Amino acid sequence: MMKKVKNEDHFDIVEDHYFTATELEKSSAIWPVRLGMDISKTSCHVGPKAVPYFYFNFVLEGQAEFIYQYKRYRVQKSDLFCFFPHHAHEYYTDRENPLQKVWIAFEGPKSLALLERIGIKPSSPFMANAVSEEILELISNLFSIVHDSSRQGSDLARLITLHQIFEELSRNTSDALRSLAGSDYWLQQGKDYIDMHYCDRITIEQIAEHVGVDRAHFSRKFHSTFLISPAKYLQNLKINEAKRLLEKTTYNLSIIAQSIGYTDMSTFSKAFKKIAGIPPREYRFRHQSRQEIRTANA
């Protein structure tokens, strides 16, 4: 699904397309969620503001000063700047050289890992001279997919082109830059470990040991990168799974508690109420009541 919108605030929006990810896309490492192009009307100040996804900003023409995590970056034609989700950014466009850029927003479980492969992370979100002729051609292909009515629903074409853009950017990334950006790759490994084993009785100490750092350092880096503590992230995954089991199964609460790694009912019930706002038994009752109402009205 896709829509095109206009915005006349600071920029002339040439194009702006939103995508609804398909099941195929959501099973991939990354997938596109937005594609667009804009031209600044004159010198202007945008932000500070945050975005919900990862954003590639490819500068086609003009100049601007981007401010990100208290650092300033002077960007110009052929440069690439990446926004990270929930991290505030702002920028000033140049009066004499109006900014024209293409943006590609994306998300997915391997977004950080793929960005590190091209030398980009929150502390180094900028690449000079990244927009090669090959990149421009791939960006053009992505717009062509959108414009071709027979291919607008081609999730596979979108996926392939986005991955090709990463591949092309990776070709132009030095081993030194890639190594520097990947120095915190253990953090993504830790998050992946939580995603895989959250139903087990794992601890933050065990996760930190798995990736080879101490617990305090792991917790600090996790919170600064993902804006949530690893303990809270782990607990949220457990409670979300508990909600699913309460909604989709008839398992008793003891079985559900053990299924998500809690050793006793009391600890599980307290954790569930803290996150969901109500005890697990009441959550199941409310869900069943809503289902019965929907069935009766069908």
Task: Please write the tens of the pLDDT for every residue from 250-273.
Answer: 999 999 999 999 988 999 999 999
- 171/37: higher pLDDT: 37
Closest CA to 105 of 87, 124, 127, 83: 83
- State if pTM tops 0.75: no
- Cis peptide leading into 98, omega within 30 of 0? no
Triad 164, 167, 169: Cα angle to 5°: 110
CA 162 to chain centre: 14
| Per-residue pLDDT band at 147 (split at 50, 70, 90) | confident
Instruction: Supply the pLDDT for residue 170.
Output: 87
Instruction: Supply the pLDDT for residue 105.
Output: 96
**Contact status, residue 227 vs residue 86, Cβ threshold 8 Å:** yes
CA distances (Å), 253 to each of 239, 267, 283, in order? Answer: 12, 12, 11
Bridge partners, 15 (sequence order): 37
Instruction: Supply the pLDDT for residue 4.
Output: 41
3-state secondary structure at position 120: coil
pLDDT at residue 7 tops 50:
no
